[in-house]
Amino acid sequence: MRVPVIDLGSQWTHRIWRTLRDLECDSEIMPPDVPFAKIADADGLVLSGGAVRLAKGEDSKISKCHALLDEFKKPVMGVCAGQQFLALHFGGKVAPAKTPEFGNVGLEVVEANDLFAGMPKRFTVWASHNDEVKSAPGFELLASSSDCKWHAFKHRRLPIYGTLFHPEVVHTQHGAEIYGNFVRVCKR
């Protein structure tokens, strides 16, 4: 099972990589401008978070991920800025959050789904964002917080998931299980 991590600049990208390795995945951290040939045989792909403010526009490095997503036809999971990038890629909107979230946040799963299988309806996650998804056409809402509607989503037709919170951070309850559930999706 091979699941590379595309590094969009998060301070926790190595934690995603480590979690995937702990789940017995062959994983490596790659830049956003990685040639498609280097990920073509992967079973899944994770887009990390990053400090980029996508509500203020994409930087040229992250923009190169559009071509990867257009070609990659297997499961993808975007985290934080990675989730926001997925929304933008599919025609959604990202804007400054009315209430930025930093630290522990109460999450409520609003739709039963593969990503949160076997987890309680409510649990605590770690968030670190100024911007948030405001609309995500083609996506189903999976989880929200009191301050942010689109904390997690899934594409209606494709195996593409996004979380605004950081499952890889130790303060997120069930974080390794979330990545484990994503790996199970990749095995299908």
Catalytic residue numbers, as ranges: 80, 166, 168
Residue 61, Cα to own-chain centre: how many angstroms?
18
The secondary element (H helix, E strand) that includes residue 79 is strand 76-79
Distance separating alpha carbons of residues 41 and 61, to the nearest angstrom:
22
185: helix, strand or coil: helix
Strand partners, 126: 104
Kindly list the distances between the CA atom of residue 93 and the CA atoms of 10, 27, 96, 183, in Å, as whole numbers in the listed order: 21, 30, 10, 28
